[in-house]
Amino acid sequence: VKGQIDILNSTQQDFILLRPDGMPLYNFGAVVDDMTMGVTLVARGDEHVINTAPQILLYEALGAKVPTFAHMPMVLAPNGEKLSKRHAAVGVLEYRDMGYLPDAVLNYLARLGWSHGDQEIFTRQELIEKFDWGHVGSTAGRYDAKKFLHVQAEHLRMLSDAEIAGWTVPFLAKIGIEIEAGDPTLLKAIPYVRPRSETFIDVADAVAYFFRDVEFEPKGKRKFLVPDNAEALLRLAEVVEGVEPFAKEPLEATVNAWLEDNDLAMKVVAQPARVAMTGRTRSPGLFEVMEVLGKDKTLARLRTGAEIAAAAEIPSA
């Protein structure tokens, strides 16, 4: 990584091998460990360059073959300071709990100190096949949380719907939703939420309203569940009640025909219906939500939304 490093013997000092209680110090212990395990390549941070010369002397004194050493630059914080917990999580298990994939963590860390042309996203197998020491950087990389999240999002979208469902189940359990990875509603929802999700926490949050009672965002409820929208919600429920099969395309065609026949704009019903069905102002498409919810839940939520809207106080001017 850094090429050949020459250190004059005259600059070396006598160093301690054992403590008074017989416990070996780092340099001696590391050499014995590596010899015992037959280590041929020692790859480590460049803060260990200072330890390499004494260790080589120990290998030679013990009659052992000296391994190859590779000293890699450290990872720094975005501002160039030493990386600490205030800049990033410090253990891979923390990233697991944040909803990151193991291969995304591996990809980001590998690419942080190594390059392969302009390619940024690698599968684990590609890293195994393409990694080479010649393209390991000699200068310190800087941790970039946004780029890390981008890498995670790309890896999430490389998974199948069933795989995403399997990874999401533990995060749903953390918010009180106990379902199996093969749950039909979850598998129906995944294709519609994956484009907007970056981590499995995002996926769990995006599908939560399919499995529990609607929890309304206060701002969205105040803005869209108002008396003027109550009738539109009831009429929408009547229109979709007769749709069979209760799927995205037939629902969209039926509602669009109703809107056209009544000279209504989609915006008249779309946001009030979205809030009534999901509690949120942002979600997958209206008809995608209906399809995943199913007919009974869709009708119940639209009618409940209409009741809430009819009973809402009209904001004063």
Q: Single out the residue of 63, 59, 72, 7 nearest to residue 30, CA to CA.
A: 59
In a domain, 317, yes or no: no
Q: What is the pTM of this model?
A: 0.84
68 and 104, same domain (yes or no): no
196-226, pLDDT tens digit by residue?
999 999 999 999 999 999 999 999 999 999 9
Q: Is the pLDDT of residue 317 over 60?
A: no
In a domain, 200, yes or no: yes
Residue 229 sits in a domain whose CATH number is: 1.10.10.350
The predicted pLDDT at position 113 comes to 86
The predicted pLDDT at position 72 comes to 86
295 and 223, same domain (yes or no): yes
Name, in order, each residue with C-beta under 8 angstroms of 265's C-beta and a sequence gap of 6 or more.
259
In a domain, 84, yes or no: no
Q: What is the mean pLDDT of residues 101-116?
A: 94
What's the whole-number average pLDDT of the chain? Answer: 93
* β pairing state of 41-45 and 141-142: unpaired
Is residue 268 within 8 Å of 192, Cβ to Cβ? no
Question: pLDDT class for 2, splitting at 50, 70, 90?
Answer: low
278 and 205, same domain (yes or no): no
Counting other chains too, the contacts that 108-111 makes at CB distance below 8 Å and 24 or more residues apart are 108/147, 108/148, 108/151, 108/152, 111/151
Half-sphere exposure (Cβ direction) of 163: Cα atoms closer than 13 Å: 7
In a domain, 3, yes or no: no
Domains held by the chain: number: 4
Domain span including residue 188: 168-210
144 and 193, same domain (yes or no): no
273-309, pLDDT tens digit by residue?
999 999 999 999 999 999 999 999 999 999 999 999 9
* CA atoms of 68 and 84, how far apart (whole Å): 30
In a domain, 316, yes or no: no
In a domain, 270, yes or no: yes
267 and 307, same domain (yes or no): yes
In a domain, 267, yes or no: yes
Q: Is the pLDDT of residue 136 over 70?
A: yes
In a domain, 78, yes or no: no
Tokens for 275, please give them: 């809030």
Residue 26's H or E segment, with its range, is helix 26-37
13 and 59, same domain (yes or no): yes
